[in-house]
Amino acid sequence: MIIRCLVALGLAIVAGACSGNTPSVGNDAATADMAATDLVADDAGTVDVGADTGDLAGTADVPTQAPADVVAGKACAEVLACAVSCTAQAATEVAGCMDKCAVGVDAAAQVKLSAISNCAVDLCADASQITDRLGCAWGKCFDQLSSCGGFSAGTADAITTAECASRCPTTQPLCLFACLRAGNAQADSAYAGLQACILSHCGLSTGAERSACIAQQCESAGQNCVAGASLNCANAQACRAKCPQPLPTSPNDCLAICDTLTDPVALAVEATLTGCQTECAGAAGKFLCFQEKCVQQEQSCFAQAGAATCNLIYQCVVAKCQSVGGEPSCTQDCVITGDAQAQAAWVLYEGCFLQQLSSPEAKNAGCAFPYNSTSCVNVVNNFCTGQWQACFKPQ
């Protein structure tokens, strides 16, 4: 039953599960097996990270194949990764998959897994939903999770990790797991501090109330997260443009987190630009309206500018960065060659493009980075017509 303790990573199953007792999930009447079904990924068996996939989002892929039996002496990190992969299986296969992960867990791993369980029980018991408990554990039990291993396996820096995590729906903790697994140790620890602030001060509030709380209570945590590398106005616009639309069944803290990562002075400049953009909300061609109405605000926000058009930015990104969604620093080098209006149009087009990569149509077209630019771009542009016109048509 040790794997039930591992599931307590976020489900807050009582530590008794680790000793073979019948598990409980606080206010949820579900069993451990039923709890696991709440964490099954989408119909395709994959875990979406906002609109990005794989390295594109600065994330590591979460395996979706059922693991082989774990051999004796398996370390905590390997068992954790094995169990996470199980949540992408069909609901009827999750429990059996996790049982395979439990085979031969060594004594040291059992101690670490028990520590995760105890922390989740102690600090996340007030979360009423299973996924809320899992999200809580990432923030409040990060030290225990980190000691298990499996995190900080990548090279993503603090900003990349934080932006990736911000796009994760709060109801899909596995998305957050993928972002943290791709970050470096410093980035993961820094983001855990911001996540803990949000959980401690804003709890399970939702909507505008939650966003206001994050802005008021966690600005310092956001600035600590990026430690001297706060987003400027242009980067803040890019961060916001990549934020998925929050839905009742798939809420996220993306816009609020982007704001906490932004330099306060730059945030005021960015707010002026977004305020101008809001005035175009009812226009038939609102993205073209931005270019006509918000010239001064764009010039103030995108202060580091060259003379290239948005079309030329795109050509640079395709030639040097493997197309939209490539390595961030490479993309940024292309973007700053554009004039202010070109950069403003680009970030909106890029944001829409990356968001749409998780659509069923994009998946059916095989839009996984690095993708076939011709077929994939045509599919995605069907969802980003306004942004595409603003970026390319005026050229």
**Would you state the pLDDT for residue 30?**
34
Whether 268 is in a domain gets the answer: no
**Would you state the pLDDT for residue 50?**
36
pLDDT for 212 beyond 60? yes
| pLDDT tens per residue, range 278-299 | 999 888 889 999 999 999 999 9
Whether 267 is in a domain gets the answer: no
Residues 51 and 117 in one domain: yes
Residue where a domain terminates, one of 204, 236, 260: 260
* Nearest in space to 18 (alpha carbons), one of 4, 34, 36: 4
- Percent pLDDT > 90 in the chain is 34
| pLDDT tens per residue, range 84-95 | 677 667 768 877
pLDDT for 339 beyond 80? yes
- Percent pLDDT > 70 in the chain is 75
| Residues sharing a CB contact under 8 Å with residue 333, sequence separation 6 or more, in sequence order | 320
pLDDT for 381 beyond 50? yes
Residues 295 and 219 in one domain: no
**Would you state the pLDDT for residue 116?**
82
216: burial class by Cβ within 10 Å (0-12, 13-18, 19+)? Answer: exposed
Residues 224 and 301 in one domain: no
208: burial class by Cβ within 10 Å (0-12, 13-18, 19+)? Answer: exposed
319: burial class by Cβ within 10 Å (0-12, 13-18, 19+)? Answer: exposed
Domain hosting 293: range is: 273-392
Please, are residues 162 and 176 in contact by the beta-carbon 8 Å criterion? no
**Would you state the pLDDT for residue 87?**
64
Residues 231 and 285 in one domain: no
Residues 359 and 321 in one domain: yes
The SS3 call for residue 10 is helix
- If one counts the domains in the chain, the total is 2
Q: How confident is the model at residue 21 (pLDDT cuts 50, 70, 90)?
A: very low
| pLDDT tens per residue, range 117-167 | 788 788 877 765 544 665 677 777 888 888 887 677 788 889 999 999 999
Quote the CA–CA distance of 219 and 6 in Å, as a whole number.
33
Whether 265 is in a domain gets the answer: no
DSSP 309: -
- Per-range mean pLDDT, top range of 47-51, 117-121, 210-214, 369-373: 210-214
**Would you state the pLDDT for residue 347?**
96
Quote the CA–CA distance of 385 and 172 in Å, as a whole number.
29
* Nearest in space to 179 (alpha carbons), one of 199, 205, 204, 150: 150
**Would you state the pLDDT for residue 276?**
95
